[in-house]
Amino acid sequence: MPKYNIDPWEMALNQLGEAARRLDLQKDILRVLSFPRREYTVNFPVRMDDGSIQVFTGYRVQHNAARGPSKGGIRFHPQVTLNEVKALAMWMTWKCAVVNIPYGGAKGGVICDPKKLQVSELERLARRYAFELIPIIGPEQDIPAPDVNTNPQVMAWIMDTYSMHAGYSVPGIVTGKPVSIGGSLGRNEATARGCVFVVLNALKHLDLPIEDLRVVVQGYGNAGSIAARLLAREGATVIAVSDSRGGIYNPKGLDPGAVLEYKAESGSVVGFAGADSVTNAQLLELDCDLLVPAALEKQITADNAPRIKARLIAEAANGPTTPEADCILAEKGVTVIPDILANAGGVTVSYFEWVQSTQSYFWTEREVNLKLRDVMDRAWAAVAAKAEDAQVTLRTAALMLAVERVADAIAIRGVYP
């Protein structure tokens, strides 16, 4: 088995190489796709509440824009690195292509610990970062969205900052913004809802009834907590969940809504009454049917993959499985719904939001959810058919489909000048 460095950018390049090899992709196109189009680094000052000035480093990477403006979230986290942002930007290119929406991929990040910042400091940081990005973002150029530790409020600050500089309101500059300023109904739940739609397809494919499904969710933020609630609503039993402080486990089942309320009050799922404590490492290896990693990258590795008991993994998070772990899971017969399909519901409804924002014509939540289901069902069908056809895993199939679509766009547009 090949030995991979688990740097996320190497992981992303490696996945691209594998898809290109299977597609017999032209070397020139592979070369183009192996570089992000733009890597933007900004070091910017922020006045803190105590009067001092701190300098923060942020990135925005635009991987490819052959199919349309680039699109991708913004992450605030102490461990953000340029290579992580580059990988996430490339995955966004593939994700948009898998669900066939007219976008390329981008991602942004600021190295900071939002938990240690006052709200006033966070607002100044978000606004100054947005200001620094003005030359390279725009509703027809590059459209940010929320990611880890950013939310609709942060999007509102970014939209306001951009609009102040334009001299008029530009709601199409970000997605995932509050509904009151042009956000879409259903966007907040979209990543999790899209994930549940593909899980339902996978269950049909595997002939597993949802009522028998014991689910473990790692990460209890936007993607994880909503996925837990929607899966429970569909009839599954959520037996364990976790956040950055640790996990809770009850083999008889947890009430995901009550856990969320407890986390909102206490700051963590840890300590929830009627459940045992588990570490994040133990949580991943619990006896269950469906594992939903919904936290950060590189959680399922060559170390723990041999002990993973889930039959199905739905990657709500981006890049939670290392390539080595992927090989081990495939050998064990575990079905992995890859990130670029499993969490594509978020960017799909972001696209719906952008369409609504730029037309100033808004849809009902029912319309949004029906259109999302349609997109996710079609994407699942295309990926599953490709996997069957090429006799590859769902991840390789999704990558092949995406790379093929982006490569076609590059080839038909040609190289300027």
What does the binding site for ligand NAD look like in residue numbers (CB under 6 A)? 146-149, 191, 218-224, 242-244, 280, 294-296, 316-318, 343, 346
CB atoms under 10 Å from CB of 369, counted, come to 20
**What whole-number distance in Å separates Cα of residue 136 and Cα of residue 154?**
19
Residue 22 corresponds to which amino acid? R
Check: CB of residue 236 under 8 Å from CB of residue 215: yes
Cα 315–Cα 395–Cα 335 angle in degrees, nearest 5? 65
In the complex, least distance from residue 261 CB atom to ligand NAD, rounded to whole angstroms: 14
Tell me the CB-side half-sphere exposure of residue 234, using CA atoms within 13 A.
23
In the complex, least distance from residue 374 CB atom to ligand NAD, rounded to whole angstroms: 19
Q: Which one, 144 or 172, has the nearer CB to ligand NAD?
A: 144
**What whole-number distance in Å separates Cα of residue 182 and Cα of residue 265?**
29
Q: Which one, 278 or 397, has the nearer CB to ligand NAD?
A: 278
Phi, psi of 391 (to 5 degrees): 55, 55
Check 71, 86, 95, 107 and give the catalytic one. Answer: 107
Which residue's Cβ has the minimum distance to ligand NAD? 221
Active site residue 107: yes
In the complex, least distance from residue 190 CB atom to ligand NAD, rounded to whole angstroms: 7
**What whole-number distance in Å separates Cα of residue 9 and Cα of residue 315?**
18
In the complex, least distance from residue 218 CB atom to ligand NAD, rounded to whole angstroms: 5
Conformation bin of residue 275: beta by default, left when phi > 0, alpha when psi is -120 to 50: beta
In the complex, least distance from residue 73 CB atom to ligand NAD, rounded to whole angstroms: 6
In the complex, least distance from residue 146 CB atom to ligand NAD, rounded to whole angstroms: 5
Q: Which one, 121 or 147, has the nearer CB to ligand NAD?
A: 147
CB atoms under 10 Å from CB of 221, counted, come to 17
List CB contacts of 57: < 8 A, sequence separation 6 or more.
41, 42, 43, 110, 111
Structure tokens at 162: 């951009």
Phi, psi of 250 (to 5 degrees): -145, 110
For residue 87, which of 158, 36, 126, 44 has the smallest C-alpha distance? 36
In the complex, least distance from residue 225 CB atom to ligand NAD, rounded to whole angstroms: 7
Q: H or E stretch including 74?
A: strand 70-77
DSSP three-state, residue 400: helix
Residue 127 corresponds to which amino acid? R
Q: Which one, 12 or 20, has the nearer CB to ligand NAD?
A: 12
Q: Which one, 25 or 88, has the nearer CB to ligand NAD?
A: 88
Q: Which one, 237 or 242, has the nearer CB to ligand NAD?
A: 242
List CB contacts of 259: < 8 A, sequence separation 6 or more.
220, 225, 228, 241, 248, 269, 272
Q: Which one, 174 or 296, has the nearer CB to ligand NAD?
A: 296
Residues recognised as catalytic? 107
